Structure 1
Amino acid sequence: MSAATAGDGPWLDDAAGRLVRPYTVSDGRTRPSTAFDLLSQVMATGATPLGYLGPEHTQALDLCRAPVSVAEVAAHLKLPAAVTKVILSDLVDCGALTERPPSFHGNPTDRALLEAVLDGLRRQL
C-alpha cells in the first residue's frame, strides 16, 4: 500500500483512493437538517462548536472562513454533495456556520447564461 498524499491524512491512499466510505463520514445519514442548494453560501460564524467533530467537519469549517458555495466545499472535501450537506448541516446546527440561499443577479435560468456555462464545461473536457 502506498503512502497517503501530503495533507490528505490517513484516509486517502494513492493506489486505493478513499479508505473510508463517504457515508461513514456522515454516520450513514443522507438527509441534512438544513435545506441546502448546491449554490447556497455557507460561512463560519466564529463560534467554536461543542463536542466531537470529525476531520471532515474541521476541514469544511476551515474552508468556510469566507463565503463559499456548498458545491465548492464538496469539491474540496472530495465527497458527494449529499454527504457534504449533512456535514455542513451539523455545523449549522451547532452554530459554527451560517447559510444563506444563493443570490442571483438576473434570471438564473437565462438561456444565454446557461449556454455560457455549457460552453465553459465543454472547453474543460
Structure 2
Amino acid sequence: MRIAVLASGSGTILQAMIEASIPIQLVVTDRQCTAETIATHNNITLIRVERNSYGKDFDRDTYTCEVRDALIDHKIDLIAMAGFGTILNKPIYDDFSNRILNTHPSLLPSFPGWHAVEEALEYGVK
C-alpha cells in the first residue's frame, strides 16, 4: 500500500508514523513547515503545493486538482491528512473515496481551527 501524508505544520503525526515504521511514499505540504524537514531527513519524496502561489483570488478547485494529480502521479493508495491547513474540494474525495484518514484535532462545527482542543477544554467540554 502506497501512503501519502498531507501536512502543514510541525509534522508531529508524520514523525509518529515514521517511528511506527509505517511506510510513507510521499509527503505533500501547502507551505514551508517542519514536516518538510522531517520528510527530507527520512528520504521521503516531498511535494509542496504552495497555497499562496494562487494569489488573493484563491481557486480551491484548481488547487485541489493539483494536489490530487500529485497523489495520482505517485500511485498513492491511502492519504493521511495530518493537520493539512488547506481545505480540499470534491475532486480529491471522488478519486480517493474511503481512502482518506483525517487526523486534524478540530471538533466541527463547534470548535474549528488549529486550537480546537484548547478551546474545547476552556469551554468545559469533557
Bigger share in strand: 2
TM-score over 0.5 (shorter chain): no
Provide the TM-score with structure 1 as the length reference.
0.27
